[in-house]
């Protein structure tokens, strides 16, 4: 017994007319008759009472119609779901990201995913004590945004865009874009920064800025959370250097002064991952990066 034979049976049970059913199912009337006869022979059941003028279901046919119709609907639903999975339109993805893109790039990306892949579940993770690479290689994450390209050959990275670093100061601070002349203007300032002794690419970039000017910042508060840094700057507790993306936080009482140093954003994933969901999300990432660089940087 084949699924297509059941489809023919249900169509004939609805039409009760061989010619109309054959036309609807795009087969010849004789082929339809053979399929129905083969189904009856396999089941050992007469499904239809036929005469020259009419076709009607037997009691057994009525019973099977009632049983098979909801089953066929369920099978069709399952097949549709399988097609969505195959096309990468259904499933889930786990994305890691740095806090600096939480106010700009990430909301725009998630909006695009929600619009084009509405049945996809997205889990967002902002790791702090475990490396992005380790999470990707352990299959605890499927996609990661980073400030540096992956080193492990099992991972693949693409640079999405470059943005400037910016000095974040309280809005009532005397420094602004017009009167800021260089790092020497900050010799008496208290800084709120990540621990500069860390070995991450991000902190190395910060150290480079200070080393280029033979400048040792007076780090008053250390934190790796950019949102916390902004909150403390807004309270007048110090100044900081952050990626320009943080300027989209709309946090009051913070002003940003761009610096002549840039930092990149990379997207990284497992090189051998053939997931259709990942393929679709990577396309969304690339599209979002193009829009973001055109309108925001």
- What was the pLDDT predicted at 244? 94
Are 29 and 22 in contact by the 8 Å Cβ rule? The answer is yes
Which domains does the chain carry? 3-87 (1.10.10.10), 92-295 (3.40.190.290)
Mean pLDDT (the chain, rounded):
92
- What was the pLDDT predicted at 263? 94
Helix (H, G, I), strand (E, B) or coil at 7: helix
Chain segment 69-100, per-residue pLDDT in tens: 999 888 888 888 888 787 888 899 999 999 88
Chain segment 157-214, per-residue pLDDT in tens: 999 999 999 999 999 999 999 999 989 899 999 999 999 988 888 899 999 999 999 9
**Secondary structure of 10-70 in HEC code, one letter for each residue:** HHHHHHCCHHHHHHHHCCCHHHHHHHHHHHHHHHCCCCEEECCCCEEECHHHHHHHHHHHH
pLDDT bracket for residue 239 (50, 70, 90): very high
Residue 212 exposure: Cα atoms within 13 Å on the Cβ side? 11
pLDDT bracket for residue 142 (50, 70, 90): very high
Cα–Cα dist 257/278, whole Å: 37
For residues 257 and 131, the model is more confident at: 257
Across the range 292-297, mean pLDDT stands at 82
- What was the pLDDT predicted at 128? 65
């Amino acid at each position: 017994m084949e699924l297509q034979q059941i489809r023919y049976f249900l169509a004939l049970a609805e039409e009760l007319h061989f010619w109309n059913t054959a036309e609807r199912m795009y087969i010849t009337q004789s082929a339809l008759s053979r399929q129905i006869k083969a189904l009856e022979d396999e089941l050992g059941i007469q499904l239809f009472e036929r005469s020259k003028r009419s076709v009607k279901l037997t009691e057994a046919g009525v019973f099977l119609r009632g049983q098979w119709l909801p089953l066929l609907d369920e099978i069709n639903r399952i097949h549709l779901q399988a097609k969505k999975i195959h096309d990468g339109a259904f499933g889930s993805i786990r994305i890691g990201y740095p806090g600096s893109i939480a106010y700009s790039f990430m909301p725009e990306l998630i909006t695009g995913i929600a619009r084009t892949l509405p049945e996809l579940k997205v889990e967002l993770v902002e790791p702090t004590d475990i490396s992005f690479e380790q999470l990707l290689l352990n299959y605890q994450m499927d996609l990661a945004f980073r400030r540096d390209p992956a080193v492990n050959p099992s991972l693949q990275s693409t640079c999405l865009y470059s943005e400037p670093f910016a000095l974040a100061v309280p809005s009532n601070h005397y420094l602004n874009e017009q009167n800021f002349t260089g790092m020497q203007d900050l010799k008496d300032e208290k800084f709120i920064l990540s621990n500069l002794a860390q070995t991450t690419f991000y902190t190395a970039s910060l150290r480079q800025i200070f080393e280029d000017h033979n400048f040792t910042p007076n780090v008053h508060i250390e934190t790796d959370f950019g949102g916390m840094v902004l909150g403390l700057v807004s309270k007048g507790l110090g100044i900081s250097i952050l990626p320009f993306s943080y300027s989209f936080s709309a946090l009051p009482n913070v002003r940003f002064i761009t610096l002549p140093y840039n930092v990149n954003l990379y997207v990284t994933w497992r090189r051998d991952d053939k997931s259709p969901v990942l393929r679709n999300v990577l396309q969304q990432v690339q599209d979002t990066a193009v829009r973001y660089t055109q309108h925001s940087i």
